[in-house]
């Protein structure tokens, strides 16, 4: 009986060994990459993301107290004309800080899609057209936009004085005395609302300046919070880490053969890295890719409108509310503000977690990743300007492999959990 049991155990072990051998022989070998390809993969790896660059225009950008205040302001719906819209209304943490809608929805319906805020602090330009050059300036735009928050800067200054005085003054110094409503109306600002605009124009210049300083500091605190919104590693990153370590088993467990084939297309034949390069899979520049116009919306010329706007913006890096010296504003000082290549050009968003961020393009023109890839594959001309695309002529299988790779870019957020929910 013992011999029979031993024989059975040996046979079972042999079967297992043969199964493992067959598995190793039949599983595709780890693909070979050239030195140039490995360098490209390393450049896309999240492990190559450099430390977050400082923002000289915002002296509290990395102050933990500003992060805490900005966290509260980000989720505060009182920062709106109707008391129902916060930054988190469109930039929803559970949706990777966007909203899943073709067009943003605040007090009204906007003309563009909500961009994710994950990793956005690495960008020198903000919004689809780059009309702002800092996170704090970006935060201020929606607060006064009639379709977004729809409020005004005097309203927000009074809100801070009532509810955030101690936290604000610990960062920025004493608040102005806003108690005299003849000097500081409850609602006033350079906005579309006629009553608020008239009240603003009736204020003394020094009082308008005092209110604007509070308004600016609201943006700087929100920006400090948004700088903490970072992506975490995906299966693609695990693959590259294993590749760099010479870990063939780790490579096989990270990506499927189709995903690896899609990765080869991404860095090669499909030319995706022309726009989507670096660890955040965006070059933060502006490109015309022939995206069709969105039905029912006015013609959108993208960067051709955004570049002049950022130069004229009172809140830009060279403006009086920036904490930066002129030497720290090179991006703005050397900005190309005109040219046919700017017409219809938009900023390519990060591709990290792209599979969870449908619909796509600046006005949600494409509902699925496959539609996006089909567009790039045929390179149809767009409504304005000159598209940069040439037809890729990828096969159905190649498109499927490319889509499979893009789905491997999904990963968790590398942000403290307490910052992903209202305080």
Tens digit of each residue's pLDDT (9 = 90 or more) over 57-103: 999 999 999 999 999 999 999 999 999 999 999 999 999 999 999 99
Give the max Cα distance, the chain. Answer: 104
Provide the token pair at 218.
Answer: 């609201």
Tell me what pLDDT residue 7 has. Answer: 54
Cα–Cα distance measured from residue 324 to residue 57, given in angstroms and rounded to the nearest whole number: 4
Which residues are CB-contacts of 361 (< 8 A; sequence separation ≥ 6)? 113, 291, 346, 372
pLDDT category at 25 given cuts 50, 70, 90 is very low
The DSSP secondary-structure symbol of 419 reads G
61-92 exposure pattern, b = at least 16 Cβ within 10 A, e = fewer: bebeebbbbbbbbbbbebbbbeeebbbbbbbe
Residue the block writes with tokens 């088993």: 249
What pLDDT score was predicted for residue 14? 45
CB burial of residue 371 (10 Å; 0-12, 13-18, 19+): middle
Using 50, 70 and 90 to split pLDDT, how confident is the model at 27?
A: very low
Q: Is the pLDDT of residue 106 over 90?
A: yes
DSSP code, position 279: T
Query: Looking at residue 29, what is its pLDDT?
Result: 53
User: For the residues 391-416, what does the mean pLDDT come to?
Assistant: 98
Question: Cα–Cα distance between 117 and 238 in angstroms, integer?
Answer: 23
Distance CA 402, CA 113 (A): 24
The CA distance from 315 to 204, in Å, is 20
Position 407 scores a pLDDT of 98
Please tell me the distance from the alpha carbon of residue 204 to that of residue 7, in angstroms, as a whole number: 98
Cα–chain-centroid distance for residue 21? 46
**Rounded Cα–Cα distance for residues 320 and 327 (Å):** 15
The proportion of the chain whose per-residue pLDDT surpasses 90, expressed as a percent, equals: 92
Alpha helices for 227-368 (secondary structure H): 235-245, 248-254, 257-267, 303-312, 330-333
Could you tell me if 101 and 113 are in contact, meaning their C-beta atoms sit under 8 angstroms apart? yes
Q: What is the mean pLDDT of residues 200-219?
A: 98
C-alpha–C-alpha distance, residues 101 and 360, integer Å: 9
Q: What is the residue-averaged pLDDT of the chain?
A: 94
Q: What is the pLDDT of residue 215?
A: 98
For the chain, what percentages of helix, strand and coil (3-state, to nearest 5) are there? 45, 5, 50
Report the alpha-carbon distance of residue 114 to residue 104 in Å, rounded: 5
Q: Is the pLDDT of residue 307 over 50?
A: yes
Enter the pTM of the model. 0.92
pLDDT at 16: 36
């Amino acid at each position: 009986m013992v011999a029979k049991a031993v024989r059975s155990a040996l046979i079972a072990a042999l079967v297992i060994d043969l199964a493992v051998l067959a598995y190793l022989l039949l599983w595709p070998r780890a693909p070979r990459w050239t030195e140039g390809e490995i360098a490209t993969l390393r450049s896309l790896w999240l492990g190559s993301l450099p430390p977050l660059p400082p923002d000289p225009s915002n002296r509290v950008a990395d102050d933990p107290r500003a992060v805490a205040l900005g966290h509260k302001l980000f989720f505060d719906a009182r920062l709106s004309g109707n008391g129902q819209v916060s930054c988190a209304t469109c930039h929803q943490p559970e949706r990777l800080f966007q909203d899943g809608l073709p067009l943003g929805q605040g007090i009204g319906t906007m003309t563009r899609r909500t961009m994710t805020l994950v990793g956005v602090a690495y960008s020198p330009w903000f919004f689809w057209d780059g009309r702002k050059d800092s996170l704090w300036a970006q935060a201020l735009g929606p607060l006064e936009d009639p379709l977004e928050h729809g409020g005004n800067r005097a309203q927000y200054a009074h809100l801070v004085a009532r509810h955030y005085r101690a936290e604000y003054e610990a960062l920025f110094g004493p608040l102005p005395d806003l108690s005299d409503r003849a000097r500081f109306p409850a609602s006033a600002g350079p906005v579309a609302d006629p009553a608020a605009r008239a009240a603003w124009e009736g204020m003394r210049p020094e009082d308008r300046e005092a209110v604007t300083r509070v308004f600016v500091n609201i943006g700087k605190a929100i920006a400090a919070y948004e700088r903490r919104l970072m992506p975490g590693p995906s299966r693609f990153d695990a693959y590259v880490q294993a590749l760099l370590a010479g870990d063939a088993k780790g490579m096989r467990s990270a990506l499927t053969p189709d995903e690896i084939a899609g990765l080869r297309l991404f860095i090669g034949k499909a030319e995706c890295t022309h726009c989507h390069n670096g660890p955040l899979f965006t070059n933060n520049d502006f490109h015309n890719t022939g995206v069709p116009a969105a039905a029912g919306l006015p013609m959108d010329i993208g960067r051709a409108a955004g570049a002049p706007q950022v130069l004229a913006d009172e809140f830009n890096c060279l403006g009086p509310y920036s904490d930066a010296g002129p030497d720290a504003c090179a991006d703005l000082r050397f900005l190309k503000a005109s040219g046919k290549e700017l017409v219809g050009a938009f900023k390519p968003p990060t591709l990290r977690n792209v599979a969870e961020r449908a619909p796509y393009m600046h006005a949600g023109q494409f509902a699925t990743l496959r539609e996006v890839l089909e567009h790039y594959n045929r390179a149809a001309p767009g409504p304005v300007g000159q598209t940069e695309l040439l037809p890729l002529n990828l096969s159905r299988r190649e498109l499927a492999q490319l889509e499979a790779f893009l789905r491997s870019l999904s990963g968790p957020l590398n942000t403290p959990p307490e910052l992903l929910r209202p305080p």
